Chain A
Amino acid sequence: MTAEDARFPKGAPARGPRALIFETGSPESRCVLAPELDVPDVSLDTALAGCARVQAPALPHVTEGEIARHYHHLASMNFGVDSGSYPLGSCTMKYNPRLNEDVCRLEGFAGLHPYQPVGTIQGALELMVGLADALAEITGLPGVTLQPAAGAHGEFTAMMMFRAYHAAKGDVRKRIVIPDAAHGTNPASVAMAGYEVTTIASDANGAVDLDALKAALDTDVAAFMLTNPNTLGLFDPNIVAITEAVHAVGALAYCDGANMNAIMGKARPGDMGFDAMHINLHKTFSTPHGGGGPGAGPVCVTAALTPFLPGPLPVRLDDGTFSVGWTDRSIGRVRSSFGNFGVFVRAYAYILALGGDGLRAASEQAVLSANYMKEKLKGTYPLPYDRPCMHEFVLSGSRLRKEHGVHTLDVAKRLLDYGMHPPTIYFPLLVDESIMFEPTETESLEDLDRMIDVMLTIAGEAASDPDLLHGAPYSTPVRRLDEARAVKQPDLRWRPSSAR
């Protein structure tokens, strides 16, 4: 045995996933014991009319310690905002404040049942009204529903409100126009709302092609959906003309609010002529992404659309107490109860902590940090739209592909070796080999410089050793995966080994 082997013994734990929780522990292991019955036992077969479970489900047999170790190991394979820079464009991976995690767990919030009498949830109602009022002020749109559970859910909710709005005027419109740069949820939400999608091309500056828009607008169009600032990180200079054109045919203008982190306290979609928008609390308002959720997607609308808001709505009464009400033409409900209340608590705490000036400062820094990174990187990575950006910007990896056969995917995978989460890649579709950076305001100058250095280093590696990048990452818990195999040989659950 050489000295090398001794340093890394064979028995040491391997990288990457180990045993599943089902494969951990032993048949005798227990964590929480079944409660003792203090009432007379019942015959389940009798009580449940012959529907008592025959074959028990296979669940883990583990002690608490084994659970703790299992999830400790899982956590060690995961990269979060606390692990390092996470500049995913359009995701706003800003720091998640710890106080917010504490306050949403206060028994006075976590212990509430949705059907408790209104008199016993005054604090919760006050919080929701406070959050809705703050979002109305930030967006410039006075009618607010907190119900939607996510941005896509908010988009759908607004499209359904638009449908009701037009129907109330006896108007049946069948199409919704969206730009080709739109996030995939936009057309999907449109289809779910029963509308047809009409796509228009963006112009050479990456903005809405006003002529194309006007050509597409007619009285069969219910709405135009736009992200502004757009998915290239650019504020559309024609925004007022755009919303005016939309209104001129009696259609409604919807703002996908995913990029709200660029403009808090600087501009408001309501003032741009938008009739409705959704906000992603898990982006702009610091609530955690949770590995994929839960988030929340409140929708803010003009006074004209307010009658159609889903309910119930928390309201402040004249006597200063709080209650719950419905608008007179509500579209109904898009989910059960009030919405993701646990997420509201976190977002509200964030808004209280920052205040109006703090929110504005956050947006200003987000924009400054993005422009700083853009200036430092654009010499090495082509910048398709060389103008001041907002809180995010899009580079192209096409030069690396043409000159060295290195794709954006390879760059992203190599970034993992440097302890950084990659930016968004291959979106928006408008840009070839796109790389979308959104640093957010919670990265320090040192963090930004480090990201820049790493990107420049990788560009150098692409020139000197492209194969190195093709094989990246090397140092992560697992390396590149066979994703085709995952589709062709679906293994979507563990199965107990005994025949069932």
Chain B
Amino acid sequence: MQFSPVSCEHRETMLRAVGATEIDELFESVPEAVRLGRPLDLPDGLTEMETAFALRALADANTPATALVSFAGAGCYDHYVPAIVDHVIRRPEFFTAYTPYQPEVSQGTLQNIYEFQTMICELTGMDVANASMYDGATAFVEAALMASRVTKRHKVVVAGSVHPEWRVVLRTYAASGNIEVVTCPVADGTVAVAAAAALMDDSTAALLVSSPNFLGHLEDLAALGEVAHAAGALFVVSVNPILSGVLEPPSSFGADIVVGEGQPLGNPMSLGGPGLGFFACRDAHLRQLPGRIVGRTVDVDGRGAFVLTMQTREQHIRRERATSNICSNHALNALAAAVYLSAVGVEGLAGVGRACVAKAHYLRDALLSTGTFDAPYSAPFAHEFALRYKGDPSVMHSEMLGRGFLAGVDLGTIDPGMDGLVLFAVTEKRTMTEMDAFVGEVASL
């Protein structure tokens, strides 16, 4: 199947118009030495029906978490997405459009982004937010880089309780030499505040933490914010926005930059991508904010309108001195998040958060009471917690899979230092019946 509407006859018309008799004449500027000179070694094209069947076969060869009773989290979560969300993002005016560089015909996209920016500011308590970034991990790194630019310092201290993958991404980026990364030790599943303070000095640009952290625990943001500011560094906090209806935002604890992974807001898990990085900061640092940003203005007739603004920060103007090399944002995922937040509203968001917290606490108590798990940590948590399985967690995991359960994330598969720990996340989708069944089954192994 192919999508060009040009008929053979019209192809001939065009060839004549350009003074060629066959198409290869237009490729004469390609030196012969590099011409492929053979067909691509790929299968022949398929009809639409065949393509659909091929993709379905690949999809059917997976057992999605959504078809199981899943307690897997660790940065990607299974929440209910209201039907209206997908209907909106399926509109071709949204998904086939380009970046809104011609604002006169892009007010739909631009207003979406302005509303999304507002929602992120409301959830995080910060002054200004950008139009989104690729995912939470890269937004986290961009926050470290921004802090370095703002403070003109080179080192960042990252909590060891932040998602291990995010810390790997941070180290990968740091190999450029643009920043130096120091990891702060963890005690009882949270950042050791005194240890963090000991690592800060006048070369520290930022203290980076997440709350809840990778293990689901709440960090002492008030104390950590003070540690950061006492050293003249910025305080960077990553949050899970689904909890923004029930958890106090980091702005209340002096956060200078707030980032996170926005997938839980109206986006499917989709094997972890595309996700939704969000990024918010204080007004004072606006000029160092990376990524696109939309502002409001008027047109020549005085109509209110939206436009990409502060573009001199970006790569297409400032090139090697840009705040970031980022060109894209995750506009369609941001749109899904905005529709989701409109659909659930403030009560819905608080309700989802409350359900997640209540159900997670219920499950943890139930699992501990079976005697098959230990509680390695006592720190407060929201909707995610780690327990130590008394047997071999990989055996437990595969047994439970056979019984229709995704028994959390076996942390030994992500970080060998966490071997034996299982991370459970509970979302509003999990019913008490499902949880009771899970507890019963796992206890009987």
Contacts and interface: CB of A to CB of B under 8 A. Distances in A.
Given A51-B218, A57-B122, A61-B345, A288 B96 contact: yes
A481 B103 contact: yes
A108 B60 CA distance: 6
Interface string B405-439: 01001000110000000000000100111010000
Contact of B39 (A345, A356, A480, A494): A356
B270 interface: yes
B269 A110 contact: yes
Interface in B384-409: 397-398, 401, 406, 409
B176 A192 contact: yes
Nearest to B435: A39
Contacts of B274: 149, 293-294, 296, 340-343
A240 interface: yes
A192 B270 contact: no
A478 B359 CA distance: 48
Interface string A39-68: 111101001110111101111111010011
A479 B305 CA distance: 9
Interface residues of A, number: 204
B43 interface: yes
Interface string A193-217: 1100100000000000000000000
A457 interface: no
Contacts of A349: 51, 55
Given A42-B361, A57-B123, A490-B295, A479 B310 contact: no
Nearest to B253: A51
B29 interface: yes
Interface string A261-294: 0011111100110000000001000101111111
Majority SS at the chain A contact face? loop
- Give the one of B105, B115, B324 with max A CB within 10 A: B105
B4, B30, B163, B306: most-surrounded residue (chain A CB, <10 A): B4
A159 B6 CA distance: 39
B206 to A, nearest CB: 17
Interface in A431-463: 441-445, 447-448
A10 interface: no
B93 to A, nearest CB: 4
Interface stretch (A70-78, A298-306, A394-402): A70-78
Q: Most chain-A Cβ atoms within 10 A of its Cβ — which of B34, B52, B90, B286?
A: B34
B176 A80 contact: no
B377 interface: no
Contact of A16 (B52, B107, B178, B271): B107
A357 interface: yes
B188 interface: no
Interface stretch (B196-204, B223-231, B243-251): B243-251
B444 interface: no
B326 A16 contact: no
Contacts of B13: 445
B298 interface: yes
A494 B28 CA distance: 55
Contact of A413 (B104, B112, B315): B104
A412 interface: yes
Given A33-B348, A95-B3, A486 B295 contact: yes
A178 to B, nearest CB: 9
Nearest to B355: A35
Question: Sorted from nearest, which 6 A-B pairs have the closest CB atoms?
Answer: A34-B351, A337-B272, A108-B59, A355-B45, A111-B64, A123-B61
Contacts of A1: none
B354 interface: yes
A6 interface: no
B315 A485 contact: no
Contacts of B357: 42, 44, 47-48
Given A149-B135, A490-B295, A113 B269 contact: yes
B5 interface: yes
B58 A421 contact: no
B103 A358 contact: no
Interface string B343-357: 111111111101101
B443 interface: no
A257 B334 CA distance: 26
A103 B51 CA distance: 9
16 contacts: A20-B118, A47-B380, A76-B108, A77-B108, A78-B107, A82-B96, A99-B52, A108-B62, A111-B268, A138-B40, A152-B315, A331-B175, A416-B104, A444-B6, A471-B300, A492-B309
B286 A356 contact: no
A236 B67 CA distance: 52
